[in-house]
Structure 1
Amino acid sequence: MALQATETAVVAGEAAEAPRRDRLRFLRNRKTLIGLIILGVFVVLAVAGSWLAPYDPSARSDDLLQPPSLDHPFGTTQTGQDIFSQILVGTRGVLVVGFTAAVVATVLGVLIGVTAGYLGGVGDEVLSSVSNVFLVIPGLPLIIIVTSLLPETNDLTIAMVIGLTSWAWGARVLRAQTLSLRSRDYVQAARATGESTWRIIVFELLPNLTPVIASGFIGTVIFAVLAEITLAFIGVADISHWNWGTVLFWAQSNQALAQDAWWWFVPAGLCIALLGTALSLINFGIDEFINPRLRSEGRPDRSVRMRVGFTPVVRAPRDETTTRKDTST
């Protein structure tokens, strides 16, 4: 009896650890880990950038258009402004706009997409029509038009405009997933037991939609960051507020490339590329977590499939009677 109790406890402990190991598998993914590390560095710079900046990003000096040095790691502009300080201070605006816009777009996408997919009927047709209208309208030109008409274009305003105009794609994907999930057995069982609609959506549908929501959130962050940098680069946003797009705007306005001042625009471009790479790696990790066929850890599975697919040639046993007859003949 004691041995059976011990074995039962061990089995129960392993069963409890299985979901935990399944959750930690997402963090053990190399792509996800590298992406989170790079993103974490940018988050630290966004929080402490203004304190780490060695100079005032708007302050002028006598070091005009100097290449990178110990005093100015990223060089200076033609007015003597320190580019390293501009990059550090501008990181906060980029991340604030990206994540705020992604939160707004994700909330709207979940509310409209899941509601339309689960309820169906007239409500589904109306919400789907609204989503289709936003899908047809080009996103970036709409953001430029709306932002240019606003009297004030700070980070929060730009984030709200991007979030309110970029939710349709996520809503469309969530609607399709909800249409697939609402006919599952566990949803039908919840309906049969008399559970309310909001409880079915929150406790039955949303947990199964979490990976799709997370993937859409990361994709919206990438789009929002690029849109905010584009608005600053073309001069629609407030160019007196520092971000990476503002650095590129002043570099392009003062013809940095023609003056061979590569240090004026290369650091901002590298930061944009690194942040996009980090978010893309996290998105790839989410995709691999959702779809087992995409997991890079599936090499043993491929070897198993090769072994299963291999059919060894087995020789049929000889019939001793026939052999004896042949010998006698």
Structure 2
Amino acid sequence: MDNCMNSEPSSGPEKRTAEPRLSRKKITKVFAKVYAFFYGNPPAILGGLLLTIILTAAVFAPVLATHNPDKRVARPHVAPNAEYILGTTRSGRDVYSQVIYGARKSLTVAVSAGIIAMSLAVFIGVSSGYLGGKTDERLNFLTNVFLVFPQLPLLIVLAAFLGQVSSLVITLLLGVTSWPWGARVIRSQTMAIRHKEFIISAEVMGESKIRIILAEILPNLTSIVFGGFLGTVIYAMGAEAGLGILGLGDATEVSWGSMLYWAQTSSSLYTGAWWEMLVPALALAMTGGGSGADKYVD
């Protein structure tokens, strides 16, 4: 009797200590998935490094920039020199400062769009792959409908219909049109693991579907979600620039897209001011060139 009474209180601490161990194990598993995404994938490493550099430039733009990007600081189209290392624009603004501040605006739009897109992709992909049945049919149909329409032309049509739009509208447009491919990949992976032993064991133990999704399925999708997010951010930066070049964005905001728009408007290449067009174009090309998103798709 005494032994039974003494043994009961000890089960509580054991349970409490077991749960933190389980949580640490899952966190370690998540980091292992992220490491697996980068290991042996040089393009992904390069893409992550470039994004880190751009993020650093965006965060510390006030420190790194030498001039106010919105103000005229010199004569129009001054060639790169010691004072203006990347030259000036037709309106006499410092190109280097505009690139630094443009990274902040372009990255803000791209990261926000990536968060929206991957949130939708995870919700729709996991729900479709795990729940199955009618839910899978409806969500898969919705995904296929979005996949039918070419994304960039659809963005151009929507932006043209709305007129010159703000960064917020561009972010929403990119976010709600960039999720289908990610959702399809996540659905396939979810369907591949939903009949695994650890999922079946959790169901037999009476775990709720929400907890199974959060605690068992999502940790196994970390590398796919991270890769999809990285690819979406890279794509969104290019799409934002594309809309900016066409004059569909807010040309008064300093972004890489608006820089290309003004460089095109001022015919900088024809007048010999190649730096006004080349600098933001190279920034976009370098970012997209090292994305490593093909690893995620594969």
User: TM-score when scaled to structure 2?
Assistant: 0.82
Match in the other structure for 2:171: 159
Match in the other structure for 1:110: 122
Indicate the SS of the match to 1:279: coil
**Residue 25 of structure 1, CA deviation:** 5.2
- Going from structure 1 to structure 2, the CA distance change for 1:120 and 1:36 (only over 3 Å counts) comes to closer
**Residue 228 of structure 1, CA deviation:** 0.5
Kindly indicate whether residue 263 of structure 2 is the aligned counterpart of residue 245 of structure 1.
no
Aligned counterparts of 1:125 and 1:112: Cα–Cα separation in 2:
11
Match of 1:227 among 239, 243, 260: 239
Identity within the alignment, %: 37
Name stretches of at least 5 consecutive residues in structure 2 with no aligned partner.
1-24
Match of 2:48 among 31, 36, 54: 36
Deviations for 1:146-202, whole angstroms, at most 9, x for unmatched residues? 233447722222111100111111111111111111111221222222211111111
Equivalent pairs, count? 269
Match in the other structure for 2:196: 184
Aligned counterparts of 1:24 and 1:215: Cα–Cα separation in 2:
9
**Residue 141 of structure 1, CA deviation:** 1.9
Kindly indicate whether residue 100 of structure 2 is the aligned counterpart of residue 78 of structure 1.
no
Kept in 1, the 8 Å contact 2:34–2:222? The answer is no
**Residue 46 of structure 1, CA deviation:** 0.5
Aligned counterparts of 1:209 and 1:194: Cα–Cα separation in 2:
23
Kept in 1, the 8 Å contact 2:81–2:87? The answer is yes
Match in the other structure for 1:9: none
Kept in 1, the 8 Å contact 2:78–2:88? The answer is yes
Match in the other structure for 1:236: 248
Match in the other structure for 1:90: 102
**More displaced stretch, 236-245 vs 184-193:** 184-193
Larger RCO (CA within 8 A; separation ≥ 6) = 2
Kindly indicate whether residue 188 of structure 2 is the aligned counterpart of residue 141 of structure 1.
no
Match of 2:206 among 194, 198, 206: 194
Match in the other structure for 1:57: 69
Match in the other structure for 1:213: 225
In structure 1, what residue type is equivalent to 2:286? L
**Residue 78 of structure 1, CA deviation:** 2.5
- Going from structure 1 to structure 2, the CA distance change for 1:23 and 1:106 (only over 3 Å counts) comes to closer
**Residue 105 of structure 1, CA deviation:** 0.5
Match in the other structure for 1:269: 281
**Residue 33 of structure 1, CA deviation:** 4.7
Kindly indicate whether residue 274 of structure 2 is the aligned counterpart of residue 254 of structure 1.
no
Match in the other structure for 2:9: none
- Going from structure 1 to structure 2, the CA distance change for 1:109 and 1:24 (only over 3 Å counts) comes to closer
Match in the other structure for 1:129: 141
Q: Which has the larger radius of gyration?
A: 1
**Residue 211 of structure 1, CA deviation:** 1.2
User: TM-score when scaled to structure 1?
Assistant: 0.75
Kept in 1, the 8 Å contact 2:235–2:288? The answer is no
Q: Give matches, 1:244-323, under 5 Å.
A: 244-280=256-292, 283=293
Kept in 1, the 8 Å contact 2:74–2:88? The answer is no
**More displaced stretch, 72-81 vs 128-137:** 72-81
Aligned counterparts of 1:79 and 1:226: Cα–Cα separation in 2:
25
- Going from structure 1 to structure 2, the CA distance change for 1:170 and 1:36 (only over 3 Å counts) comes to closer
Indicate the SS of the match to 2:71: coil
**Residue 29 of structure 1, CA deviation:** 5.8
**Residue 34 of structure 1, CA deviation:** 4.2
Indicate the SS of the match to 2:225: helix
- Going from structure 1 to structure 2, the CA distance change for 1:25 and 1:101 (only over 3 Å counts) comes to closer
